Amino acid sequence: MLTNRPKTKILVDGGDPDETLRVKKLLGLVDGQTTNPSLIAKNPEIQQRIASGHSLTSQEEKDEYRKIVQAISPIVGDAGVSIEVFADLDTTAEEMFSQGEEMFAWIPNAYIKYPCTHEGLRAAEMSVRQRVRVNMTLCFSQEQAGAVYAATKGSKEPVYVSPFVGRLDDRGEDGIDVVKNIKTMYRNGDGHVHVLGASIRHLDHLLSSFALDVELATVPAKVLEKWATSKFPMPAKDFTYKAVGANGQVLKPIPYKELDLNRPWQSFDIRHELTSKGIQKFVADYRSTLKRSA
């Protein structure tokens, strides 16, 4: 059991209520959960249906998603459950927001995930006006996080932004630097955006997230299990992160940029190849569960 709680809230990065329960037993608490179309496609019941030849219609997929988050919702604490809209590269802000509003009503502690794209940011702008809580996902740059801040300024609820650490590492860049840069930039802000470390692949990512004082971290069950079996280590005062990739290669640093958070959000350069690739991957995983005609 976790006796010394970190300041960082711990969320499970997954799509299976049984797994969340297992982690909760192991840790004694789970502050929240994040889901996404790839994780929902991997849910054991959905996988079983597909294996037995029963692909889903898009309505059935949505119903399954709702059931999954409704089962997770009461298990977790006040960081809530993040639910992702189904968006491809052509989905408009209005379409995302309409899904978001519907999903937000599924559970009392929902956060709606929109991608860090122009349309996703517009959807976030609409959402915060209606007090629909948001988690801006597929964030790979400090500029995107700057735009999230500016687009959601005035939100009555905390807004989450999710920098994806592991996917930057995958292409040889130091994903932890993006988290660090965003935290530094937000020191000049009003605190309405909380940083949620995501795509956490190993214990060092987790410990660095703690050391950087991120407000939240979403972590796969297997990394949390490793943390538990290692007796819940915490970063020492002189903790330094070794920026090496999965193959031991040194990761390229990502430099800090001076950005003015008071600029209009549309003026930030939010383009990032990994955001588009991430959307395409979510679409592919989502479609893999659907009937051909759906």
Which residues form the interface with ligand G3P (CB under 6 A)? 13, 34, 36, 39, 164, 166-167, 198-199, 201, 218
CB of 278 to ligand G3P, least distance (A): 8
φ, ψ of residue 113 in degrees (nearest 5):
-95, 125
Question: Is 280 in contact with 288 (CB distance < 8 Å)?
Answer: no
Q: Which one of the listed residues 62, 67, 113, 281 is annotated catalytic?
A: 113
CA distance 115 to 123: 9
Q: Is 113 a catalytic residue?
A: yes
Between 140 and 265, CB nearer to ligand G3P: 140
Between 46 and 150, CB nearer to ligand G3P: 46
H-run or E-run covering 286: helix 273-287
CA distances to 39, 148, 213 from 104, rounded to whole Å, are: 19, 19, 28
Between 133 and 150, CB nearer to ligand G3P: 133
CB of 82 to ligand G3P, least distance (A): 9
Question: Is 216 in contact with 80 (CB distance < 8 Å)?
Answer: no
> Which token pair is 162?
């999710």
Is 164 strand, coil or helix? Answer: strand
Please choose, from the candidates 198, 230, 237, the residue with its C-alpha nearest in 3D space to the C-alpha of residue 214: 198
CB of 279 to ligand G3P, least distance (A): 13
Dihedral Cα 201, 203, 207, 212, nearest 10 deg: -10
H-run or E-run covering 91: none
Is 160 strand, coil or helix? Answer: strand
DSSP state of 266: G
CB of 218 to ligand G3P, least distance (A): 5
CB of 118 to ligand G3P, least distance (A): 21
Q: Which residue has the tokens 């979510």?
A: 282
CB of 36 to ligand G3P, least distance (A): 5
Question: Is 206 in contact with 12 (CB distance < 8 Å)?
Answer: no
Q: Which long-range contacts (CB under 8 A, 24 or more apart) does 225-229 make?
A: 225/23, 225/26, 226/202, 227/203, 228/2, 228/26, 228/27
**Could you give the residue numbers annotated as active site?**
113
